Structure 1
């Protein structure tokens, strides 16, 4: 078989993820991390007589205006949802591109832009498939404090959950047959989702993802140092 014939018969990125079960495992892994962190923080709050303010937050979603990292294994679950709900549109891709550029070029202290996945009512439209970082950070201080950059915030953290995404990524990469890079396949949330959308129907996704994700990882690391 000629090499071009082999390429034509190879599965696309999306097909490979679905038929191999990798997509389902990646989505489940992120949900388990979030569920574990939520349970751990809730128990810590109970023991120390604190309240997890996020559980009943109705304040402006300032946490959804921050620079947000996403790993490729988290982006694939988001993209699968977007495609399933017919939300992969030129308008969305333009919004992702603009948000990614802003997140990769504006300093951390000056970054104030709502997540592209918030709706008009400030509700997350990918909530069940959100990246682990969005579901593993909590506060016990009043939720309104989070809306101010100088707010007096008392964070509740789950150290184990913070390490989990990179560990999951290390398993995801070889399972998906991707190239090893000198960094994780990660970067700004909108950038990783955009790259994943662009890779979904490609058969040369191994090369495409390596060439796109490495610069994305470097840019995000540089701006968040």
Structure 2
């Protein structure tokens, strides 16, 4: 298994762009998962379906490469709820505080009105390996309680994810990592998604 991690890390050292690094890791994770899903038994027992967004209300960790990729999507015009992102960033390092937030305020800022991921092709690596076996009702944290769920064994994909995290300078909770990059950004396109007259820094001061 460590061979996978070493091979991915070796390749990542040759890639200078954080966005390209993130997408390379995602590609490797997808490759490992694709092979796993060739098994009809696996296909039969996975209960995750499109529109099932229970895990999109839980804490998610990203690498700084992945945060850069997501920030770039926002800079390119993808609209998100920045107030919600900031609220989440205040509690994302504590499980008890996170689950004290109202259910809808815990929804990922990339979850759209149809309960689908608006950045599905660029979603974090850890989101890609969340495949539940069993009753999906246990995935819900709407009442603030976290229940035990059985996940598909994705060891090979996990090794690729480990390489991605190990190759970065910083990893952390998605809200914190993304907010940090957005608050530092001076990209004109990002400012336009907020207001044509006000800068990003002005908006963050008001939150």
Place the TM-score, normalised by the shorter chain, in its bin.
0.5 to 0.7
* Residue 76 (structure 2) aligned to one of 68, 80, 84: 84
Contact residue 91 and residue 97 of structure 2 kept, 8 A: no
Aligned length: 166
Residue 41 of structure 1 and its aligned partner are, at CA, apart by 3.4
SS of alignment partner, residue 39 of structure 1? helix
Residue 47 (structure 2) aligns with: 53
Contact 1:30 1:74 in 2 (8 A): no
The CA distance in 2 between the partners of 1:142 and 1:115, in whole Å, is: 22
Q: How does 1:145-164 map to 2 (within 5 A)?
A: 145-147=138-140, 149=145, 153-164=149-160
Per-residue deviation, 1:116: 2.0
- Residue in structure 1 matched with residue 21 of structure 2 by the alignment: 26
Structure 1: state its 5+ residue gaps.
1-19, 174-184, 203-225
**1:192 correspondence with 2:186:** no
- How many Å separate the matches in 2 of 1:192 and 1:165? 17
User: Who is 1:93 aligned against?
Assistant: 82
Helix, strand or coil at the partner of 2:158: helix
| SS at 1:70 equivalent | strand
The reply on whether 1:62 has 2:62 as its aligned counterpart is no
Q: Is the 8 A contact 1:75 1:196 kept in 2?
A: yes
Rounded to whole Å, the distance in 2 between the matches of 1:153 and 1:41 is 19
| Alpha carbons of structure 1 residues 37 and 151: separation in structure 2 relative to 1, 3 Å | farther
Cα RMSD after superposing both structures: 3.0
* Deviation of the 1:172 alpha carbon: 4.6
TM alignment of 1:1-225, pairs within 5 A: 22-43=17-38, 45-46=39-40, 50-54=44-48, 56-59=49-52, 61-85=53-77, 87=79, 92-107=81-96, 110=99, 112=103, 113-147=106-140, 149=145, 153-173=149-169, 185-201=170-186
2 CA distance for matches of 1:48 and 1:128? 22
The alignment partner of 1:53 has SS state of coil
Runs of 4+ in 1 over 6 A off after TM superposition: none
